[in-house]
Amino acid sequence: MGESSSVTRPEFTDIPQPDELARAEARRRHATLIKPAGSLGRLEELGAWIAACQGACPPRPFKRPRVVIFAGDHGVAAKGVSAYPAGATAQLVDALLKGDGAPNALAGVAGVGVRVVDLAVDAETPVQEFKVRKGSGSIDTEDALTEAEVEAALRAGVAIADAEIDAGADLLAAGDVGAGVSTPASVLVAALTGSEPVAVVGRGSGIDDDAWMRKAAAIRDALRRARAVLVDPIALLRTAAGADLTAMTGFLAQAAIRRTPVLLDGLASAAAALVAEELAPNARSWWVASHRCAEPAHTLALDHLDAKPLLDLDIRLGAGAGALAAMPLLAMAARLLTDVATYEDAGITPPR
Residue 4 confidence class, pLDDT cut points 50, 70, 90: very low
Within-domain flag for 46: no
Cβ atoms 223, 197 nearer than 8 A: yes
Taking the C-alpha atoms of residue 34 and residue 350, their distance in angstroms, rounded to an integer, is: 7
Paired strand residues for 172:
66, 262
Within-domain flag for 261: yes
Within-domain flag for 305: no
Percent of the chain with pLDDT over 90: 88
Within-domain flag for 10: no
Burial 85-106 (b: 16+ CB within 10 A, else e): eeebbbebbbbbbeeebebbeb
Instruction: Give per-residue pLDDT as tens, 104-160.
Output: 999 999 999 999 999 999 999 999 999 999 999 999 999 999 999 999 999 999 999
pLDDT averaged over the chain?
94
Average pLDDT over residues 201-214: 87
Which CATH number do you get for residue 255? 3.40.50.10210
Contacts of 227 (CB under 8 A, 6+ apart): 191
319 an active-site residue? Answer: yes
pLDDT of residue 6: 46
Within-domain flag for 171: yes
Cβ atoms 161, 259 nearer than 8 A: no
Within-domain flag for 271: yes
Residue 14 confidence class, pLDDT cut points 50, 70, 90: confident
Domain count of the fold of the chain = 1
Within-domain flag for 302: no
Cβ atoms 146, 120 nearer than 8 A: no
Taking the C-alpha atoms of residue 188 and residue 223, their distance in angstroms, rounded to an integer, is: 8
Within-domain flag for 220: yes
Catalytic residue, candidates 319, 321, 323, 333: 319
> 179 is in which domain, residue-wise?
65-277+317-324
